[in-house]
């Protein structure tokens, strides 16, 4: 394991260099603001007429078209949705890429699956925060950072790693630590994590538990608190202290019940399916499916979004989060991040 901290990174690798951050969404906003506040010369590259254009200007960023930003930059950091990066790269970035430039990403998807091809005399780097953009900004303002990953796919200049690490330091990531990886490892594990555990697995687990309780006649509000709301408290404990720390904080009854029953929920069938999901990712089957879906303007994704919005847990949850003031609190937190 190779981990880099502030003391290991010198931002001089980016002295006199211009970083163009392409995109001003979740990651683009957080990362460009942090890098700019850290003293880097940052341009935000956007399409004219999009919602982000005015937003980035209002936030005081130096905004240019993607083409102009690419022309001026030494480092082009592409923070657009993964499924459109290849198109935008081809049309608006590739024509202006010069030898010795660095093309940088926060996810290895388009390089690893070969949707984007970069000339040999250009660096290909990744600096990826392990968390959403709002957290990248919030923790930076609090004087800390979230952990990150760094990877080098192509080192044309001999200092590609220094450039990527300098970007990570300017984003605040080396305060928590930047772990070295490869494009392949980051891409495949990131996709697996979000599908099987973080986004896919956990929502299905919560909803299955919620539905079990509601169908058995318990109040939906109680079911929501038990299967969804409390999850955050448990995850926070695991995040800070590991499994043992969590077991130590819950009752012995919870510990015995949990340890003796959990493999009936995540059983051999579930583990077999996890392996299958990973293999679909490794073989590029998932990526092909997603490329077709996004080219067709996302009919399945839109349908799944619609179906989920009709789920009881979403209705009950929304009502409860309002009643407990949780949505208001989350909004205030977000506004605070944007205002500062």
82 lies in the binding site for ligand NDP (CB under 6 A)? yes
Distance CA 231, CA 77 (A): 35
Beta pairing class for 63-65 and 75-78? unpaired
Active site annotation includes 112: no
28 lies in the binding site for ligand NDP (CB under 6 A)? yes
- Residue 50 binding: pick among ligand NDP, Mg ion, none (C-beta 5-8 Å cut-off by kind): ligand NDP
DSSP track, 252-301: HHHHHHHHHHHHHHS-HHHHHHHHHHHHHHHTTHHHHHHHHHHHTT-HHH
What's the min distance (Å) between Cβ of 337 and ligand NDP?
14
337 lies in the binding site for ligand NDP (CB under 6 A)? no
What's the min distance (Å) between Cβ of 230 and ligand NDP?
24
- Tell which one of 41, 64, 71, 107 touches ligand NDP (CB under 6 A): 107
34 lies in the binding site for ligand NDP (CB under 6 A)? no
Cα–Cα distances in angstroms (integers) from residue 225 to residues 141, 211, 320, 322, 327, in the given order: 32, 13, 9, 13, 15
Q: Are 221 and 320 in contact (CB under 8 A)?
A: yes
Of residues 166-205, those binding Mg ion (CB under 5 A)? 190, 194
65: helix, coil or strand? strand
What's the min distance (Å) between Cβ of 251 and ligand NDP?
34
DSSP code for 38: T
Indicate the residue among 81 and 245 with the shorter CB distance to ligand NDP. Answer: 81
User: Binders of ligand NDP: how many residues, by CB under 6 A?
Assistant: 24
Distance CA 101, CA 67 (A): 15
23 lies in the binding site for ligand NDP (CB under 6 A)? yes
Q: Which residues bind Mg ion (CB under 5 A)?
A: 190, 194
């Amino acid at each position: 394991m190779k981990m880099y901290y502030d003391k290991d990174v010198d931002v001089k690798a980016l002295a006199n260099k211009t970083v163009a951050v392409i995109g001003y969404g979740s990651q683009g906003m957080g990362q460009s603001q942090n890098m700019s506040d850290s003293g880097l010369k940052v341009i935000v590259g956007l399409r004219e007429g999009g919602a982000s254009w005015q937003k980035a200007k209002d936030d005081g960023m130096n905004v240019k078209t993607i083409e102009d930003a690419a022309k001026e930059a030494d480092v082009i950091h592409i923070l657009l949705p993964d499924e459109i990066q290849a198109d935008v790269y081809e049309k608006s970035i590739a024509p202006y890429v010069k030898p010795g430039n660095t093309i940088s990403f926060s996810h290895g998807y388009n390089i690893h699956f070969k949707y984007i091809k970069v000339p040999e005399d250009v660096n290909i780097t990744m600096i990826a925060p392990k968390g959403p953009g709002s957290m990248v900004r919030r923790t930076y303002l609090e004087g800390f950072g979230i952990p990150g990953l760094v990877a080098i796919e192509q080192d044309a200049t001999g200092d590609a790693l220094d450039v990527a690490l300098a970007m990570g330091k300017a984003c605040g990531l080396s305060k928590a630590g930047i772990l070295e990886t490869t494009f392949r490892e980051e891409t495949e594990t990131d996709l697996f994590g979000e599908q099987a555990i973080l986004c896919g697995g956990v929502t299905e687990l919560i909803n299955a538990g919620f539905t079990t309780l509601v169908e058995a006649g318990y109040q939906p509000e109680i079911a929501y608190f038990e299967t969804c709301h409390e999850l955050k408290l448990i995850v926070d404990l695991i995040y800070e202290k590991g499994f043992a720390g969590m077991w130590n904080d819950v009752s012995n009854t919870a510990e015995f019940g949990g340890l003796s029953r959990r493999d009936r929920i995540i059983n051999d069938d579930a583990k077999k399916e996890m392996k299958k999901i990973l293999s679909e990712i490794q073989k590029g089957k998932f990526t092909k499916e997603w490329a077709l879906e996004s080219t067709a303007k996302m009919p399945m994704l839109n349908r799944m979004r619609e179906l989920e919005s009709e789920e009881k847990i979403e209705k009950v949850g929304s009502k409860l989060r309002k009643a407990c003031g949780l949505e208001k609190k989350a909004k205030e937190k977000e506004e605070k991040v944007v205002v500062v």
